[in-house]
Amino acid sequence: MIRTKAILTDIYNSNKVGHQLTDEELYKLQNHLIKMYRDIEAVCKKHNLGVCLAYGNVIGAMRHGGWIPWDDDLDVHMSREDYEKFLSIYAKELPPQYKVSSYLSEGGSIARFAKIIDTSTTFVPVGEEKSEYTGVFIDIFPIDYAPENIFLNKIRKYWAYFLMYTATSVAQARTNSKEYKQNMFKTSAGRTNWRLRQCWGYLFNFASPKTWHRWIEKFAIHKKNTGYCHVIADLDVCFKKIPSDYYFPFRTVDVPEFGKIDIPNKYDDYLRLTYGDWTVVPDEKDRWHHYVQEISIPD
């Protein structure tokens, strides 16, 4: 089955839904995201917590010397231990305009990972409604230990898929956004995806999306250090036995655009798990970026 993100990429790129960020807006957004990252990093360093760039931002650092030119978001990793310390104790030391959304925060999370949101900004992607969660944000993906038993990992992987699919489907069914439906109905794959998720969401609507996401986070935690890791929010590596040294210890690199910044230890192996040959620049039609309804970043 085609993933929702791939369907949306095709719809947005082919049908020009919403508006793509202008060069000026993108430049301003990227600069603001790096500022937010440095704010998070400063708190982490103060308390000896590790944080590093993740996913496409690692590609940007190592392939482009900074940002991927069209990239409009920023993801980071933390170990589960540091992630929970940061969210439960130290995140309150971030600048006061930052809002933390996680399964540990008041009201629970709206995603299967933590988000740090700058409430002094406005950032409303196509398909979302303006709310307290629609400022410029950084996603934090915790790295968990993975069980050693291959059979157990497979069972846990499929259960994780069920939980994640259910959480997002319930969110879609409860929101019932007319705009999102109109966008998805622009292609046959989008129509099929929307209908399946809508039915699934109604079926499991007995619990809220926040509750489902809280269950996902709790399910991910495996306390024993097995020497293997995974990231539950990443479908490509969910409950795979990935050697811990792919991630740890985080490696400091000097990037022309950013200066010194941390990335996963064996970054080449790490990137190939999700992207294959990450050194090749993808065709324009395959590039993911947000299309937005509204964006405002104060000077």
| Residue ranges of domains in the chain | 4-284
What confidence score (pLDDT) does residue 107 get? 67
CA 242 – CA 266 distance, rounded (Å): 11
The answer to whether 94 and 36 are in contact (CB under 8 A) is no
The answer to whether 105 and 48 are in contact (CB under 8 A) is no
What confidence score (pLDDT) does residue 158 get? 92
What confidence score (pLDDT) does residue 18 get? 67
Residues of the chain under the 70 pLDDT cut? 1-2, 13, 15-18, 106-108, 127
What confidence score (pLDDT) does residue 17 get? 62
CA 131 – CA 110 distance, rounded (Å): 12
**Per-residue pLDDT tens for 230-283?**
999 888 899 998 999 999 999 999 999 999 999 999 999 999 999 999 999 988
Q: What pTM does this model have?
A: 0.90
What confidence score (pLDDT) does residue 10 get? 76
Sign of the Cα torsion 64, 68, 73, 75 reads negative
Beta strands per DSSP E along the chain: 19-20, 52-53, 75-79, 98-101, 114-118, 122-125, 136-145, 228-230, 242-243, 251-255, 259-263, 291-296
What confidence score (pLDDT) does residue 127 get? 67
